[in-house]
Every structure is written in C-alpha cells, then in structure tokens.
C-alpha cells in the first residue's frame, strides 16, 4: 500500500495524484499513441469509436453522474452537432469554424432544454428530454433544406488547415486529441467551484442552495456544458459515419449513452472512458465471437472426440447471429451491473487496485456501505 505524504495544498488540486500516477497515465498515453501502428485499419477504426463515445460519455457524465439530472435526449444533441457541422462544411465553412458553430448551436439548444430542468427532476426530466429528442428527430427528417431529410447527407473526410484526415489512423489521432482536450477541460471544471456546485446539487439541493449555490444557474450551466461537449462529439461522429440520416439519432442511441455512464460508473470521468470502451468494443467483440466460438469449439470437439462440444459451439454461434442479440446482451449486462456492481466498471477497477495494493490483506468488506440514515421528506 502506497501512502501519499502531503506537504502542500497543491497536491490535492493538481491533475495527477503524484509522480507514480502521472507515470502510469504517461504509459497509457504511449500505448494509445502507438496502438494504430500495431493494429489493422479495421481495429483502428473501431478504436476511434472509443474516443467518440468517450466524449459522449464525458458529456452525459457531467449531467447524470455529477449534477444528477437524467437525460434521455442526448442523441438529439449529438445529432444537432453532427448536422450543424456537416451543414456548415457543405456550405464552405472551414472545418474549425464549422465545429465551433456546431458547438455553439448545440450549447444554445442545451440551454433551452435546460430551462424546464430547473423545475423538474428524475423521471419527469427524463420524459421532457425524451420529448425533446423526438421533436428534434422529426426536425431532422422534415427540415430538408438543411438536413436533406431521409435522403441523407454525405459528410466528407475532415480537412483542417489544409491537412487531410483521410485514413483511419489520422482520424484516430484527431479524435484522441479532442477527447484529451475535453477530459482536461472537464477535469478543470470539476476541481473548481463549478464542479463542486454540481456535485452539491446532485446530493442535496436544499443544502447547496443554503451554501450559496444558485440552482437555476448551475443546472443550466450543466446542461449547456453537457450539450456543448455532445455537439463536439457530434461533429466527429458525422465524419466517422460519413453519412447522416435522421434515424441514427433515436432514443436507442440516447439509452446507449445512459448505459455507457452507468456501466462505466456514475460520478467519475474514468467511468465515462471505461463505459466508452465497453459500448464501442462490445459489437466488434460479439462479431468476432460469432465466428470464433463455433470454430474453436468444433476444433476442440475433433481433438477430444466429444461431439456435443461442437454442437454447443454451433448453437452459441447461431444465437449470436440472431438479430437483436446485441441489444439483448447490452440489456443483460446493464441489469447485471446494476445488481452486482452499482459503482460500475470504475468501482470494480478501484477494488482491483486496492486488492493488489493491500495484498494479502484485502478485505471485501472495505467497500460495504453502511445503511443510509433516513432523511425526512426533502423540501422542494
């Protein structure tokens, strides 16, 4: 177990806990930068999704994980960002300008949607944002002069200051760059008074108010910031899928984002990234397993002479080929996570870390929560 000896208040403020932590993140950075040179283009493309989903995850984490406001409409913000970016590029705006405009427009939409959030919480807010996303989806399909409706909208590869990002590898680095920037800005906010105010609103509105937090301003701010980040993700998303159609930005995508933050672990930026890895990589992993499980099981059956093994393998492969199985597996994992690990993958990660750092003295009960004390009805 490593104890940190603190000699200055700065140690609680800076980004990395200490040099050893910073070294680990440095190692991670080297691995992430080197990865495209070690993988096929296909896998580089799939990893890019991790970064884009990571940005989406940060966006929703700020709102759901830190401010405690649930949104079922974040696909709409993604769509607004994507369409706005594509629209401005199509009309000749430079890439950076198009992106900034996309972010500004999404932020404005976030502020507008945030207004009802000042009066609503929980399920009511979820329904309001859901309604918003349905309306926006309708706008995407009807406003043909801008979105081209169901005919769709082709998005060219990004060209920034004359530099072309045509292959998977360069786009991978572009997305990685923006993810790092977003993580850094968000982390800055979270270690400053604004982030604390968000956390305060999440845990007790009445106490936050009595400590001087203006609920209306900080809730709108959370919505606006979350939408802005989502708009940025939308711009990258547009390039990634290369073809925008209204039926991409459905409630299913919004739910997938929620799943991302819950599986990753609510209330931590690590969770947003863990969740993004999970959501982005599960489909390709299922695709790989579809073929590799029957193959390897049949091989095993031939080697051992136990025929049922091969049949089992074929059955599993058959099952994984069924339509809708992906959504089913997502749902199953979500249920299991909520039941078994409410803190998500990040919670599991903390436990693993503690296990190794205190080995062999680890006690599972370290993470047992006390029963919470009853609160009388909240004053609203």
Partner 1 sequence: MSFFTAENLSINFGGIKAVDGVSFEVEQGEVFTIIGPNGAGKTTIFNLVSRIYEPSGGKLVFDGRDITNVPAHMIAALGIARTFQNIELFEHATLLQNLLLARHAHKKSSFWSEVLFLPSVRRMEIEHREAVEKAIDFLDLQQYRDSLIVNLPYGVRKVTELARALCTDPRILLLDEPSSGLNVEETEDMAFWIQDIKNLLGVTVLMVEHDMSLVSAVSDRVMALNYGRPIATGTPAEVQAHPEVVRAYLGG
Binding residues (CB under 8 A) for partner 1: these are 9-10, 12-13, 185, 188-189, 191-194, 196-197, 199-200, 202-204, 206-215, 221, 267, 369-370, 372-376, 379
Select 197 or 269, whichever has its Cβ closest to partner 1. 197
Closest distance of CB 353 from partner 1, Å: 16
Residue 32, H or E segment: helix 19-34
Closest distance of CB 307 from partner 1, Å: 53
Name residue 163's beta-bridge partners: 160
Closest distance of CB 203 from partner 1, Å: 4
**SS3 at position 119:** coil
Q: Helix 215-241 crosses helix 41-60 at what angle (to 10 degrees)? A: 170
Closest distance of CB 276 from partner 1, Å: 22
Closest distance of CB 265 from partner 1, Å: 12
Q: Where are the alpha helices (DSSP H) in 91-143?
A: 95-117, 122-142
Q: What is the DSSP string of 225-241?
A: HHHHHHHHHHHHHHHHH
Closest distance of CB 209 from partner 1, Å: 5
Residue 231 buriedness (CB in 10 A; 0-12 / 13-18 / 19+):
buried
Closest distance of CB 118 from partner 1, Å: 13
Select 92 or 212, whichever has its Cβ closest to partner 1. 212
First to last CA, the chain: 44
Select 84 or 200, whichever has its Cβ closest to partner 1. 200
Name residue 154's beta-bridge partners: 243
Structure tokens given for 238: 């547009």
**SS3 at position 279:** helix
Q: In b/e form, how buried is each residue of 19-58, taking b as 16+ CB within 10 angstroms? A: eeeeeeeeeeeeebeeebeebeeeebbbbbbbbbbbbbbb
Select 145 or 372, whichever has its Cβ closest to partner 1. 372
Select 153 or 232, whichever has its Cβ closest to partner 1. 232
Select 107 or 256, whichever has its Cβ closest to partner 1. 107
Closest distance of CB 54 from partner 1, Å: 18
Select 184 or 319, whichever has its Cβ closest to partner 1. 184
Select 191 or 348, whichever has its Cβ closest to partner 1. 191
Please give the Cα distance from 77 to 111 (Å, whole number).
11
Identify which of 230, 228, 233, 236 has the alpha carbon closest to the alpha carbon of residue 107. 228
Name residue 243's beta-bridge partners: 154
CB 261 within 8 A of CB 275: yes
Closest distance of CB 220 from partner 1, Å: 11
Select 304 or 366, whichever has its Cβ closest to partner 1. 366
Structure tokens given for 81: 């960002």
């Amino acid at each position: 177990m490593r104890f940190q000896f603190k000699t200055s208040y700065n140690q609680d403020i800076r980004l990395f806990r200490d040099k050893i932590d910073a070294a680990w993140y440095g190692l991670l950075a080297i691995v992430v930068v080197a990865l495209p040179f070690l993988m096929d283009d296909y896998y580089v493309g799939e990893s890019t999704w991790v970064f884009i989903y990571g940005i989406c995850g940060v966006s929703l984490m700020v709102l759901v994980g830190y401010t405690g406001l649930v949104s079922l409409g974040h696909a709409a913000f993604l769509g607004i960002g994507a369409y706005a970016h594509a629209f401005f590029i199509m009309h000749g705006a430079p890439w950076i300008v198009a992106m900034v405009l996309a972010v500004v427009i999404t932020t404005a939409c976030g502020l507008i949607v945030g207004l009802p959030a000042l009066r609503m919480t929980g399920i009511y807010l979820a329904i309001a944002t859901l309604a918003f996303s349905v309306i926006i989806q309708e706008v995407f399909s009807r406003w043909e002069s801008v979105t081209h409706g169901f005919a769709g909208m082709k998005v060219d590869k990004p060209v920034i200051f004359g530099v072309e990002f045509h292959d998977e590898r360069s786009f991978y680095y572009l997305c990685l760059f923006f993810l790092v920037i977003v993580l850094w800005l968000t982390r800055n906010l979270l270690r400053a008074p604004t982030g604390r105010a968000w956390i305060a609103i999440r845990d007790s509105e009445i106490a936050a108010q009595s400590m001087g937090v203006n609920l209306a301003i900080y809730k709108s701010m959370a919505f606006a910031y979350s939408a802005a980040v989502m708009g940025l993700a939308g711009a990258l998303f547009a390039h990634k899928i290369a073809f925008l159609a209204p039926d991409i930005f459905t409630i299913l995508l919004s739910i997938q984002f929620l799943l991302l933050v819950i599986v990753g672990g609510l209330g931590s930026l690590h969770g947003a990234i863990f969740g993004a890895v999970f959501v982005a990589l599960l489909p390709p992993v299922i695709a790989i397993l579809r073929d590799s499980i029957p193959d390897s099981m049949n091989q095993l059956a031939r080697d051992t002479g136990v025929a049922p093994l091969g049949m089992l393998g074929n059955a599993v492969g058959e099952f994984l080929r069924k339509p809708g199985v992906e959504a089913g597996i997502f749902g199953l994992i979500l249920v299991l996570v909520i039941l078994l690990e409410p803190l998500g993958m990040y919670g599991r990660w903390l436990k693993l870390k503690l296990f190794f750092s205190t080995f062999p003295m680890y006690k599972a009960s370290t993470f047992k929560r006390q029963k919470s004390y009853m609160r009388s009805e909240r004053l609203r």
